Structure 1
Amino acid sequence: MHDIPGLLVPTLFHAVQRDGFSFVTADTMRPLLQSVGELSDWDAFADSWNRLGPDPYLAAKGRFRRRCHATFTATAHGAVEPAPHQPHYQALQYNALQGDIQRWFEPVDSSVAKGASLRTILTFCNDFFGSLSPSVPHWHVEVHQFRIEASIDVAGEPTPEGSHRDGVDFVLVLLIDRHNIASGTTTIHSPDGQLLGDFTLAHPLDAALIHDPRVFHGVTPVMPLDATEPAHRDVLVVTFRAKS
């Protein structure tokens, strides 16, 4: 593993191993990321959320969000490499709203995919998740850029499928930006529905680390604070699934 700040990692490891999740504030997440790479293009990286295309599959269900998607492969504590553009697929048991279909989304812009910030985030995930599952030699990695927009008439739904699992091994949810919104509280539940924790990603680089097989997660709808201003919640979601 890279030299991630020594006192931080055991605490996060313990939390994820014990509880199945950990909420990580930006003042902790930033040094963790910067210990394995650079965030030198962060402003351009965050700005790319302004150019996401609409999610056509969700629009067909009468809901709206913006989304781009990319796929990578990773080796244990090694390189994370881009994979050919491909559909995103979840079984119906994990996504009752849009399961059992291959969904093609606009690809993450190549400048974002190759940029310092995303490469650093992926390196951190490969190190951290790989250390939690050291027997896994190869990972299937997916990256999702999400923008949830809200208006006074229509609440934004970060997780329209409700509390759910993603059908992977590990999930990183990283806040990029939130503007003029209220709520958006992340909730973590046990499989029997018991609330295990809740927190709000409020500042850029606030994050949730989730062991997906153990817990369900969801996010409450968001509403604008000022009805006359645009309102959005931007997140990056990275998933790691062991390749068979």
Structure 2
Amino acid sequence: MQKRIDSPIPTLFDAMEHDGFAFVTADVMQPLLQASGELSDWNAFTASWSQLGPDPYLAATGRQRRRRHATYAATAHGKVELAPHQPHYQSLQYNRLQGDIERWFEPVEPDVANGASLRTILAFCNGFFSSLAPGIATWHVEVHQFRIEASSTEAGEPTPEGSHRDGVDFVLVLLIDRHNIASGTTTIHAPDGKPLGDFTLTHPFDSALIHDPRVFHGVTPVTPLVAGEPAHRDVLVVTFHAKP
């Protein structure tokens, strides 16, 4: 089942409230972002994915993952401020491979963390997620730049932990680029394992919006279309979690 959103915010609200997720195509998402701010540094923003460091915490699987990380504090419908660099933490309940440890990743580069494109994406998320949860006054926000690499001998694993929840309130997954890869299909499941939908982020700005407490999500491994040539999937993941 592929869920396509062809109209703006009210339909997205309905999809999130009814299904717990929405697939947003680039032709819808890009104008929504532009209504929230500028994307004037988009080329430099996307180029920064070539400067990601390796993920040192993956052992037997997923060594093809590169990433950077940043944390923000947000006031609902208000300011989103960059916070001091800090570790990413998930409990074993939400991450059976790397749970219950503080994971330190290289920080998002300052020009990216404070740049127009990321600020615009965060402004959209703040407005959209705050409208879905009007009782939340402040948010803990995390930003993850991911590059998943694949080779002819080893598939790239966007979610080596399998279908999972992140332990937050809301998630945005925004496709930045995919080069010479097949698959990478996002799957959505109910907590009891029932499939709820699947879709593939194919074009830059294609996005998934997820209400994390309600549904599980995962991404199938990616493989090269042409063996021996570079192959990668680049995404930005933004999570919003209510501050206590």
TM-score (ref. length: structure 1): 0.96
Are the equivalent residues in 1 in contact too, given 2:174–2:235 (CA < 8 A)? yes
Corresponding residue number in structure 2 for 1:181: 181
Query: What is the identity, as a one-letter code, of the residue corresponding to 2:73?
Result: T
How far does residue 118 in structure 1 lie from its aligned partner after superposition?
0.1
- 1:184 partner letter: G
Letter of the aligned partner of 1:186 in structure 2? T
Q: For residues 166-189 of structure 1, what are the alpha-carbon distances to aligned partners after superposition, in whole Å with 9 as ceiling and x for unaligned? A: 000000000000000000000000
Percent of matched pairs sharing the same residue: 77
Q: In structure 2, what is the equivalent of residue 9 of structure 1?
A: 9
CA distance in 2, matches of 1:219, 1:72: 26
Question: 2:149 matched to which residue of 1?
Answer: 149
Structure 2 counterpart of 1:109, one-letter code? E
**Aligned-pair distance for 1:228?**
2.0
> C-alpha distance in 1, partners of 2:60/2:116?
36
Is 2:234 aligned against 1:234? Answer: yes
- Post-superposition Cα deviations, 1:200-235, rounded to whole Å, max 9, x if no partner, equal 000000000000000000000000000121000000
- Three-state SS of the structure 1 residue aligned to 2:57 is helix
* Cα RMSD after superposing both structures: 0.7
2:222 corresponding residue in structure 1: 222
1:61 CA drift (Å): 3.4
Unaligned runs of 5+ in 1: 1-6
Partner residue in 1 for 2:23: 23
How far apart, CA to CA, are the structure 2 residues paired with 1:115 and 1:196? 36
Runs of 4+ that moved beyond 6 A: none
Q: Deviations over 1:6-51 (max 9, x none)?
A: x610000000000000000000000000001011110000000001
C-alpha distance in structure 2 between counterparts of 1:146 and 1:181, whole Å? 15
CA drift of 1:62 comes to 4.2
Contact preservation (8 Å) 2:174, 2:236: yes
Q: Which residue is 1:3 aligned to?
A: none
Secondary structure in structure 2 of the residue aligned to 1:240: strand
- Please give the per-residue CA displacement for 1:111-159, whole angstroms capped at 9, x wherever unaligned: 0001000000000000000000011000000000000000010000000
Q: Give the TM-score normalised by the residue count of structure 2.
A: 0.96
1:17 partner letter? E
Structure 2 residue runs without a partner (length 5+): 1-6
* Distance in 2 between residues matched to 1:161 and 1:48, nearest whole Å: 26
Q: Which amino acid in 2 is paired with 1:14?
A: D
Instruction: Give the letter for the 1:161 counterpart.
Output: E
Aligned-partner Cα distance in 1 for 2:197–2:226: 29
Aligned to 2:94: 94
Matched position secondary structure for 2:208: strand
| C-alpha distance in 1 between matches for 2:61 and 2:132 | 39
Q: What amino acid is aligned across from residue 171 of structure 1 in structure 2?
A: V
